[in-house]
Amino acid sequence: MADKPSYLNFNKAAYPWKPDIDYRAHPEKYRVGKGEQGVLICEPYKSQIGQHWRFKTEPIARQSSDVIYHMFLDYLTAGDFVGADMARKFLQMGYTRARRYANYKGGKKYDEQNNYAQLDRGTGEDEKARAAAVFYHLYKQAEANPQYKSVKAAWKKEKG
């Protein structure tokens, strides 16, 4: 079971991010979490940032990641940590999703028809690997931003 996807046993009720919360109006309800958790739930940021999130080709990934990284900086400048963290999560997700397509044909890691056996790695697209590298660079740049690191540490200590 350890090799099966975690979403098979997902406990929606225990998940701290909820789609019916406006996280701009109620930032105190936002939790940083691990990695990309909550990225496809937290509104209005999901809709604002997600409309720019693309990784089909390296040039598309470059344009997308540039827009999202500038949104990250704008959120930081405005003192909106939740927005900055969400933008950082979209950059990370651009990297991880593009890598998934680089590693696995069609981005499918598990064979649903075969008890979720893991499919062969190395069947994906080189173009997606280049797109992933573009996102990775800006994701790491966002993570290393001194202002972001400071605010994130304080947020996690105070709110989780």
Query: Where are the domains positioned within the chain?
Result: 16-158
- Rounded alpha-carbon distances, angstroms, from residue 51 to 23, 54, 87: 18, 8, 12
pLDDT category at 114 given cuts 50, 70, 90 is confident
End-to-end CA distance of the chain: 29
pLDDT category at 101 given cuts 50, 70, 90 is confident
pTM: 0.87
DSSP 84-125: HHHHHHHHHHHHHHHHHHHHSGGG--EEGGGTTEEPPSS-S-
Place of tokens 């405005």: 78
Structure tokens at 155: 């947020």
Kindly state the average pLDDT of the residues 39-59: 96
